[in-house]
A and B are shown apart, each in its own frame.
Chain A
Amino acid sequence: MSASPAPAMENVAARPDIREKVTGHARYTVDKQPRGMVWARYLRFPYGAGRIAGFNIDAARAVPGVLEVSVRADHPPRCAGDVIGEMVAESPAALDDGLAALRLQCRPGQPTTNPDDAHAGVPPPNDEEAATLKSIFADATVTVEAEYRTAVQTHSCFEPHAVTAIPQDNGDLEVAVSTQSLMSCQEQSARAADLPASRVRVKAEYVGGGFGSKFGIGAEGNLAIKWARELKRPCRVALSRQEEHEMGGNRPGSIQYYHLAAAADGRLLGGRMHLVSVVGHTGRGGGVRAPSYYRWGEIVRTDDQIALNSGLPRAFRAPAWPQASFAMESVLDELAARLGMDPVEFRIRNETSERRQRQLRQGAELIGWNERPPDGTMTGVVKTGWGCGVASWGNSQGRCAVDLDVYPSGHLEVRIGIQDMGTGATVLAVDVAAWHLGLDRKWITGKIGVSDYPPGPASGGSITSRFTAPAVRDAAEKAVTALKARIAAEWELAPNDVTYAQGVFRAADGRERSWVEACRTITDGKINVRGEFNDRYWGHGNSDTAQFAKVDVDTETGLIRVRKIVAIQACGLAVNRLTAENQIEGGVIQGMSYALFEDRRLDGPTGAQYNADLLQYKISGIGDLPEIVAIIDRDEEEDGVRSLGEPTTIPTAGAIANAVANAIGARVRELPITPARVLAALEERGSA
């Protein structure tokens, strides 16, 4: 009796832990509530600048349930949300009561909240730059000189940053963290607790969202571990929704100046880029990844950062790329329009990648590009437009270690010290092993999210799948080798004379043993093997993508309705088709949200974020869902797993912006593209 045939890579079963999530049984960090747990939070300054004018610490301490509270003012507040103290209490209600009793009074100062107040404008080129630009523009048939802006975007993870620190009876420490970096959290927790790392266990079996802001235990972890140690009780710290917006990290805004030229034959000639990031109070952490993807010609480029009295940036899914892509894809369409060239042909003309050229042609066909009229020429109140953009992502190698146990029953357990904040990383443990062992998934249990497991990569840079898959494959092959040795011994053959394929061990003389039968040779409890870094499964080449958008724009209300997005994404071998589609669709929806809705708004006089919630900080809703055609672009020669999570969200905003401009014959050069901005652009065009 043999095990059933192996599912192929691009398995279409859902992620192995889907049921726990759907049934509400998955326990996230904020769901872990050991007996006796205390709750701690930071006290925060409410304005972008100013001073503390008064507070009543004794009244706060006297509130039933408040265990300790302190206010400190070692530096002037720098942003709304800046830490000015801490409180620990028996319950969230006691924390609220303590805060009320504290009667914290603050006076706002003069925060910098408007980028234009701090923007020095585009610096004049120096003599050498000026000479370069002069020669570039001398050959120009057309030029575009424009400024593009993008808003600050907050990560808005649905599970907030949270840590539950749980002291153990023997002095060890268990720490639950909502994190993208399981292994670094162990190291940091140990330092915070002044314990050897071997006495600290970090658990992150389920993580409620992480797009780059959840690396390390953070200030929340330091606070939770501090009070857990001091009170010898479990301690939970979880940010509120307001704290998430203000202090949970953000994608910087941008002010991007482009003055670019093209020749009559469609060649990009180059020009000037001045790229400014709008960041938080440190004045650092920004960046705009221009130029890229196309042959831009010679570029004179300068960069700057503008500091606002606001929360600091944290890496956000493809950091620095979506800002650049929106502007660059917009500029390309503007140049193409001036040349009278089709935007797809213009891109193909200047593309550096054959694959993206092919994806552009394929996407154009799938979106119905031949229906696209010249900009703004469609009649009627509701006008349809088409736009596109490209992106790419690199594929370096990196380490991961995997434990694999094989039991006499034929079952396997795969353990990896990685984490899953929505990517479906458990498929790496289960589906890669299933594929290489030729076994049905039901034989394999995948476990992740505990720091006891062998070290795996943090989930950033779209590395998790491409670092982990080779190690799982290695472990599977070692398991086969171990069993081959036992069968060979029984058959009195050399191990090399035994072959294994699709769940069956075979000898040349026709003898056979199924996987399950072979496992009965395991007489010492289990076989354990360790999978390691190796060169196989190495997915050469980039993860290229082209995306096309089709939108309807109501020219009376300014409302935009994205009708369809075609997203063609190369990612090597997709370990699992459904989870890969979810990554593509998820990136597209976040890109659409960035293009049309998200905007961190600061109150001018006080510097508070006045939309620090999920009602007025708008993200893509279910009603906004377009038809998404997600295509896993794979060559027959593909033999490795490549990056996937980040390239999917880079070109969407540019494609949508271009589609809107095509529809209405006017260009909105600022994200989010709101109805008000659409109407303003139409009005400006009408009066031109």
Chain B
Amino acid sequence: MNTTIKGYLFSVFLFVVFIIGWHFATYAPETTTSGTELSASQVEALVTSGLAEADARALTAAGLRFDQIEQIAGIGLSLAEIEMAGGIGSFGFTTGEGGAAETAVTGFPGPGQVGRVVFEQFSDPFYDKGPNDKGVLLQLLYSLRRVALGFGLALLVALPLGFLLGMSPVFKTALDPYIQILKPISPLAWMPLALYTIKDAEASSIFVIFICSIWPMLVNTSFGVASVKSDWVNLGRTLELSRFSLAFRIILPAAAPTIFTGMRISIGIAWLVIVAAEMLIGGTGIGYFVWNEWNGLNIDSMILAILVIGLVGFALDMSINLLLKKFAYES
């Protein structure tokens, strides 16, 4: 059998093993203490501790577990009195919905539940019900837009500047110390300064993407241009090419693979940074989505978002890789 097919089969196998492992790690069997119906003995126990049977059934229907109802019974109030006092919520009880039983026991959603959330979200991925309730793909588009703008701007600056650095040793020596110092700064460290100066969250996050994706492209472009084989440049000179022709017909295609490699590194970093940046600035974006779901303790939606982030990062990387392959050459 073909080794590639073998490899793919093995990765499918790993996936299945992971899902099964995940399922059992988070699996909580439906116990009698939870669920929508109380057994006769449980009702009897509640009635003896002072709760009317109708109230017990109503609380169950509201989604409370047996142990919770037991505690309510311990308070010694009827359901009507509790409602007057502000409902069971004011006593610190929360009612679960749907799969509450599953989460309540382990705290972590199983694959089935995440699958349900994925299905729900993707059946209407672009809905917009106010600032804190938007579809995951809509949030994703906000993030992609920021990355596209920041990355595009960085490309516009890095290409010509990198060319200049690669062509002129004087320029390279002059700018190198600045690049070396600016390059290792975490892009998020710029965020407060950007917010203060630009006074706009959207523009600040685009700036942060710009500043983090410019360095790999700048360094790679200048390296690629500087290491073009001297024979090729000499050939161009003997053909009396203009400076423009030399740059675009010899140096650019020769340096293209190195430049695209820089772009590939940049887009990867940009995608890493946008999530963190959006957690900081809030409002919109996939990073904010993760943070918002964390605040609502919707672990299943968080997992969905993490999955989406990974897939999109992969797609971005592959698309630049396709370009890279198109312009690559063997010498």
Partners in one complex: no
Measuring CB to CB, which residues of chain A are less than 8 angstroms from any residue of chain B?
A: none
Measuring CB to CB, which residues of chain B are less than 8 angstroms from any residue of chain A?
A: none
